[in-house]
């Protein structure tokens, strides 16, 4: 399978703990995006990388959230001191910059985070 | 304010029937409009992408239309199948950059046998 891969698929943790998610994009894709999705809503943009550079962060991305893409390949999203409101599906997507603005974003199946 | 509104919120139809989902947007400057299908517990999958100059685009039994003047789009599904049960999300891209996608809340479609 050469699609976008996210791990873990599910994460259950206690409030206050730190969690880290991983995203492996389609290998030739240089753009990578993180989204958060709650039940019954569309995804909300969190942040975006082109290669290893983090080019944009949403205001939704509080100080407790940090994302990295150290070598321009896989990316990690870390949430520190988790809160109940962090419970959501975290989606990763990738795309090719060379195809211009009209290329589709290819999504992984997400990591579902549940905070107890 | 950039917004995307979809209707209906949910829809139930019988297998084999056609249906049309609606999307209205107020995104400016407009770049393109996308329809995604999202199965429960899965990530969204792209169905179509339309730019300003395109009025219609098909992908199998899915046909999307775009009226850039009235800022409306529709997604028509022909001869529905049980596997079409999913949420269908309309997404509009603003011209400034690729990351600035404005997502609708989706229409939840249920196909009954």
CA–CA separation, A74 and A6 (whole Å)? 10
In chain B (113 residues long), the average pLDDT of successive 10-residue segments reads: 92 97 92 94 94 92 96 97 97 74 93 97
List, in sequence order, every residue forming a beta bridge with B59; answer none if it has no partner.
Answer: B62
CA–CA separation, B85 and B7 (whole Å)? 16
Give A110's contacts in chain B (Cβ within 8 Å).
41-43
pLDDT (tens digit per residue) in A45-94: 999 999 999 988 888 788 999 999 998 899 999 999 999 999 999 999 99
Is the predicted pLDDT of residue A1 greater than 60, yes or no?
Answer: no
pLDDT at position B91 is: 94
pLDDT at position B27 is: 86
CB neighbour list of residue A63: distance below 8 Å, 6 or more residues apart = none
Evaluate whether B15 touches B79 at the Cβ level (below 8 Å): no
pLDDT at position B45 is: 95
Q: How far is A112 from chain B (nearest CA, A)?
A: 9
A78, A45, A85, A52: which is closest to A63 by C-alpha?
A78
- Mean pLDDT (chain A) is 91
pLDDT at position B97 is: 58
CB contact under 8 A, A104 and B34: yes
Give percent above pLDDT 70 in chain A. Answer: 95
pLDDT at position A116 is: 92
pLDDT at position A97 is: 75
B10, B8, B9, B4: which is closest to B24 by C-alpha?
B4
Q: How many contacts does A have with B, using Cβ atoms within 8 A?
A: 59
């Amino acid at each position: 399978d050469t699609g976008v891969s996210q791990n873990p698929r599910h994460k259950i943790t206690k409030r206050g703990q730190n969690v880290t998610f991983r995203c492996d994009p389609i290998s030739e894709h240089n753009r990578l995006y993180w989204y958060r999705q709650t039940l019954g809503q569309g995804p909300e943009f969190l942040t975006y990388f082109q290669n290893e550079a983090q080019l944009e962060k949403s205001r939704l991305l509080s100080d407790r959230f940090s994302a990295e893409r150290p070598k321009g390949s896989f990316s990690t999203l870390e949430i520190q001191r988790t809160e109940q409101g962090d419970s959501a599906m975290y989606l990763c997507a990738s795309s090719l910059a060379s195809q211009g603005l009209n290329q589709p974003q290819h999504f992984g199946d997400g990591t579902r985070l549940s905070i107890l | 304010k950039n917004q995307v509104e979809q209707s209906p919120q949910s829809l139930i139809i019988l297998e084999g029937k056609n249906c049309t989902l609606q999307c209205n947007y107020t995104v400016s400057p407009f770049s393109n409009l996308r329809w995604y299908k999202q199965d429960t517990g899965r990530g969204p999958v792209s169905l179509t992408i339309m730019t300003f100059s395109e009025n219609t685009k098909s992908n199998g039994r899915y046909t999307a239309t775009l009226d850039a003047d009235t800022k409306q789009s529709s997604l028509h599904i022909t001869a529905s199948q049980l596997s079409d049960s999913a949420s269908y999300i309309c997404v509009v891209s603003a011209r400034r950059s690729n990351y600035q996608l404005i997502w609708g809340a989706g229409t939840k479609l249920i196909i009954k046998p």
